[in-house]
Amino acid sequence: MRWKGRDQSDQIEDRRGISGGKMAGGGIGVLVVALIVMALGGNPMDVLQQAGGAQTGGPAKPLTAEDKEWQEYVGVTLKDTENVWTKIFASEGETYRKPKLVLFRDGVQSGCGYASSQVGPFYCGEDETIYIDTGFFGLMKSRFGAKGDFAPAYVIAHEVGHHVQKLMGTMGKVNEARAQASEKDANALSVRLELQADFYAGLWAKQAQQAASLDQADIEEALECANAIGDDTLQREAQGHVVPDSFTHGSSEQRKEWFMRGWRARSVDDGNTFGNGRL
């Protein structure tokens, strides 16, 4: 993936240096973070059961060279998503409203509440903002083998996919349906929402292929990342067995499949993960 020295988005706010945290929903998956916490010697149940209030922030820390490099990487990737989705929306006679993206360290106040970095990258529909602690990308690589420079771009594009769902009204409809559904059915709806975000990530990757100089190796990196964060893979590693009814993001195979469907798609309409007009 070619990203150094390219145009960056002007929608990024850097709040790194603030610490503390409470979980917020809609991210790449709480089980991912629970496994990371376990790997680092912590108690994963602290993540899974967390519901407390915000903690006091600490003093700001100066940005390192690596921090600044991540800022450029995220800025370039977000700019690519803006270019692609602006074009797609315009083709439908619509205007794409760009999301904000906040970089933080340890914890952050979002429109969805106070969030700890333990939740991983997440999108908050209340303020139409993506929140990322870039330290998560290092843990993805070291803990889950999500190597290469494209895996983080896939994660960013997935969160942008949630923003697209917000703009299209899909997220609101799913939230309404989930509120009236059983736990099993609500989880199934969440899976469909997440798989559609994976589809949108694949669609973006194809559209951005030339500008970002993407090749087959980059796509393999995205598929390796999708495989590593599938619900079945995470549950098997965390508890030794899989409980499909508790899935909220989709199995590894589903996540890879829908990313590739996006990569091969000719239209946004090909990403209907709900089927039969359920929404």
| pLDDT per residue as tens digits for the range 228-252 | 777 777 777 777 777 777 777 888 8
Q: Model-level pTM greater than 0.85? A: no
- Residue 51 lies in domain: 12-267
Has residue 262 been placed in a domain?
Answer: yes
Q: Give the CA distances from residue 214 to residues 154, 159, 201, 206, 221, in Å, rounded to whole numbers and listed in that order.
A: 12, 19, 13, 8, 11
130 and 101 Cβ atoms separated by less than 8 Å: yes
Q: How many CB atoms lie under 10 A from the CB of residue 180? A: 8
Has residue 167 been placed in a domain?
Answer: yes
How sure is the predictor about 60, in pLDDT bands with cuts at 50, 70 and 90?
low
28 and 155 Cβ atoms separated by less than 8 Å: yes
224 and 256 Cβ atoms separated by less than 8 Å: no
Total domains in the chain come to: 1
171 and 165 Cβ atoms separated by less than 8 Å: yes
Q: What is the mean pLDDT of the chain?
A: 80
Has residue 5 been placed in a domain?
Answer: no
pLDDT tens-digit readout, 62-105: 778 888 888 999 999 999 999 999 999 999 999 999 999 999 98
In sign, the C-alpha dihedral spanning 164, 199, 139, 52 is positive
- Segment 146-168 mean pLDDT: 90
How sure is the predictor about 59, in pLDDT bands with cuts at 50, 70 and 90?
low
Q: Give the CA distances from residue 123 to residues 137, 139, 263, in Å, rounded to whole numbers and listed in that order.
A: 16, 19, 22
Residue 227, pLDDT score? 75
Please, what is the end-to-end C-alpha distance for the chain in angstroms? 36
Has residue 107 been placed in a domain?
Answer: yes
pLDDT tens-digit readout, 194-231: 999 999 999 999 988 876 667 788 888 888 888 777 77
